[in-house]
Chain A
Amino acid sequence: MRILVVEDDPVLSDGLRAGLGMFGATLDVVANCADGRAALAASAFDALVLDLMLPDGSGLDLLAHMRAGGDRTPVLLLTALDEISDRVKGLDAGADDYLGKPFDLDELGARLRAISRRQAGRASPFLSCNGIVLDPAHMSVISGGQIIGLSRREFAVLEALMERPGVLRSKSMIEERLYGWQEEVESNTVEVHVHKLRAKLGRNVIETVRGLGYRMKVGTP
Chain B
Amino acid sequence: MTSASLRTRLFLILVAATGIIWLFAIGWIYVGTKQEVESVLDARLQEAARMVASLGTGKSVAAPSAETGTDGPAETLIYERQLACQIWSLDGRLVARSRGAPSSNLGGTQTGFSDRRIEGETWRVFTLEDTDRGLRVLVGDRLGVREHLVTDIIKGLLAPTLLIVPLLGFLIWTSLNRGLRPLRRLALELQQRQADDMSPVETGRAPAEILPMMAALNALFSKVESARRHEREVTAFAAHELRTPLAGLKTQAQVAIGTSDGAIRHSALRQIMIAVDRTTRLVRQLLDIANLDALQNPGPDTRLHAGEIVGEIVDAHPAREGLRVEVDPMLNWITFSANAELLVLALRNLFENAVQHTAHPGLVRWSLERRPGEIVVAIEDEGPGIPPDELPLVTRRFYRGRHKSPSGSGLGLTIAELALRANAARLNLVNRTDRPGLRAEVILPRQAEVLHRRDGMPEPDLEIGLATASS
Contacts and interface: CB of A to CB of B under 8 A. Distances in A.
A106 B246 contact: no
B250 A81 contact: no
B240 A80 contact: yes
A179 B40 CA distance: 126
A171 to B, nearest CB: 28
B258 A105 contact: yes
Contact of A19 (B241, B243, B255): B255
Contact of A104 (B248, B254, B401): B254
B243 A15 contact: no
B250 A55 contact: no
A9 interface: yes
Contacts of B250: 102-105
Contacts of A19: 251-252, 254-255, 258
Contact of B252 (A14, A22, A55, A101): A14
A11 B264 contact: no
A76 to B, nearest CB: 13
Contact of B402 (A10, A55, A82): A55
B415 interface: no
Nearest to A8: B406
Interface string B396-429: 0000111010100000000000000000000000
B271 interface: yes
A12 interface: yes
B39 interface: no
B247 A101 contact: yes
A104 B253 CA distance: 10
B275 interface: yes
A99 B130 CA distance: 129
B244 interface: yes
Given A14-B271, A15-B268, A78 B247 contact: yes
> What is the interface residue range for chain A against chain B?
20 to 34
A22 B255 contact: yes
A53 interface: yes
Given A15-B268, A102-B249, A80 B243 contact: yes
Given A56-B402, A101-B243, A11 B248 contact: yes
A216 B321 CA distance: 53
A81 B235 CA distance: 9
A101 B267 contact: no
A56 B254 CA distance: 29
Contacts of B264: 18
Q: A interface, by DSSP: helix, strand, loop or mixed?
A: mixed
B437 to A, nearest CB: 20
Nearest to B265: A18
Contacts of B278: 11
A9 B249 CA distance: 11
B255 A82 contact: no
Contacts of A104: 250, 254
Contact of A11 (B240, B241, B245, B259): B245
B401 to A, nearest CB: 8
Contacts of B271: 11, 14-15
Given A12-B247, A80-B244, A106 B236 contact: no
B239 interface: yes
Interface in B220-257: 236-237, 239-252, 254-255
A16 interface: yes
Interface string A47-59: 0000111011000
B274 interface: yes
A78 B248 CA distance: 12
12 contacts: A10-B406, A11-B249, A12-B247, A15-B268, A19-B255, A22-B258, A80-B240, A80-B242, A81-B236, A81-B239, A82-B239, A103-B250
